Amino acid sequence: MSRKCIIISILFFICVSGINVSAQNRIFDNHLFYQHLLNENLTSEREYFMRLLIGLHPDEPKVLDTLWLNLAQLYYAKNDVGQASMAVSQISDSVHFSFSQKKLFYSLCMVTDQIPLASEHIFREDRETIFSPFIGDLGISIVLLKHTPVKRETKHGEINSALIAVQYEKLINTPHPSPVLTGLCSTILPGSGKWYLGYRKQALSAFATDILLGAQCAESYYRGGWKTPRFIISASFFTVFYTGNILGSILAARKKRKDYLLQIDHEIYNYYRPFILHPGS
């Protein structure tokens, strides 16, 4: 179905059924039509329908917030994270949401990298909401994504989710390999820097390669001197591999911590995805 046909069919339904939406709760007079689009998995039609309603209610913040929330959920389900992030950013206030909507809103904030927005809205919540287990884990998650360890108990409560608790422990035990020490080890003994980082196979491979090239270089020197083409070529290969091993070890030290923290972020994002894709579960 073309975009024009979609828009015409939606407008026809609204005109024929005499639906007049003018207040916060009246938006759900369209519930049957929206439910039909949802049941039939008509994603494009749902998107245009909500866009149409957004245009009809420019001066009703509560209605707009609900529509933008549903639209953000739809975009995320389509794997359009950019559009989902844009839709979430349009939500002005989440206080009037039901608790299930708040869980959806904050989960969308987490997976679309709208962490500042989530932090801003948390401070507006009422006492009952802010001390709920979900918001408690959310507060911990936000701090963990900043890669700054905190005490297990915060002003939002204790860690309730086992997954969040595991990520907290991982962050506390984040490896801090020294690039300087790694490079120094590799300079003194080829492969030892990789061994220090825990990359045993790479360490043995680097050691064996540098030793063989070094031995070949020494043999070429003793047989023909340092001016012979054989020595120059073997020495060049040894220098490239020896220097590359040192630089590679330094970069690996920096990358190891970064990858470790990215894995923690990934696990936290995965924790919030079911609240978006399966909000009733």
Looking at the predicted structure, is the pLDDT value of residue 34 above 70?
no
State percent of the chain over pLDDT 70: 81
pLDDT band at 39 (very low <50, low <70, confident <90, very high): low
How far apart are the C-alpha atoms of 71 and 34, rounded to whole Å? 12
Task: Please compute the mean of the pLDDT values over residues 27-32 and round it to a whole number.
Answer: 56
pLDDT 10s digits, 49-62: 888 888 877 788 88
pLDDT score for 253? 92
pLDDT surpasses 80 at 237: yes
CA distances (Å), origin 110, targets 64, 157, 262: 21, 19, 14
Q: Which of 251, 159, 154 is nearest to 202 (CA)?
A: 251
Give the pLDDT of residue 48: 84
Average pLDDT over residues 220-238: 81
pLDDT the model gives residue 86: 94
Residue 157 and residue 131 in contact, taking contact as beta carbons nearer than 8 Å = yes
Kindly report which listed range (97-106, 178-187, 222-231, 234-243) carries the lowest average pLDDT score.
222-231
Higher pLDDT, 173 or 105: 105
Tell me what the mean pLDDT of segment 225-251 comes to: 86
Mean pLDDT of 229-241: 85
Going by C-alpha positions, the residue among 200, 217, 198, 206 that lies closest to residue 243 is 206
Q: How confident is the model at residue 17 (pLDDT cuts 50, 70, 90)?
A: very low
pLDDT at residue 214, as a whole number: 84
Per mean pLDDT, which of 110-114, 119-123, 124-128, 136-140 is the most reliable?
A: 110-114
86: its two tokens: 């844009």
**Residue that wins the pLDDT comparison between 215 and 28:** 215
Identify the pLDDT of residue 149: 64
Local confidence band at 4 (pLDDT 50, 70, 90 cut-offs)? low
What CATH code is assigned to 1-113? 1.25.40
Task: Please say if the pLDDT value at position 25 is more than 50.
Answer: no
Q: Is a pLDDT exceeding 50 seen at residue 12?
A: no
Question: Is it the case that residue 105 has pLDDT exceeding 90?
Answer: yes
Question: Where do the structural domains in the chain lie, given as residue ranges?
Answer: 1-113, 179-266
pLDDT value of position 10: 54
Spatial separation of the C-alpha atoms in residues 20 and 18, rounded to whole Å: 6
pLDDT score, position 60: 83
